[in-house]
Amino acid sequence: MNTEEILREDISDFASRLEVMTIDEIFDAMSLLEQHSEDDVSDRDETLSRIALVEEEIERRFPGQKLAPYRDWKQDQPLLS
């Protein structure tokens, strides 16, 4: 999966697909979207709306932990540093 695939996918399809993704797939999607949002892109609003969906899915899976599990995962990824 890459950022372009995520952004091309219908938002409701993406939201449905998030529900069946593994934790690593969800965290990877979040990382890709975050990196893309930092670029000077014309689709920033679309990117941010998908980031919000991923955040909601992380919160659903890790109630009360906000994005701590994602931040921990991100620190353990040597290529993302």
What tens digit of pLDDT does each residue of 2-21 get?
899 999 999 999 999 999 99
CA 56 to chain centre: 10
- Residue 70: HSE in the Cβ half-sphere, 13 Å Cα cutoff: 24
Give CA–CA dist 79/81, Å, rounded: 6
CA 16 to chain centre: 13
What tens digit of pLDDT does each residue of 28-63 get?
999 999 999 998 778 889 999 999 999 999 999 999
Residue 55 CB neighbours (<10 A) = 15
Checking if the pLDDT of 77 tops 80, the result is yes
- The pTM for the full model equals 0.88
Find the mean pLDDT for residues 72-76.
91
For 56, the token pair is 């909601």
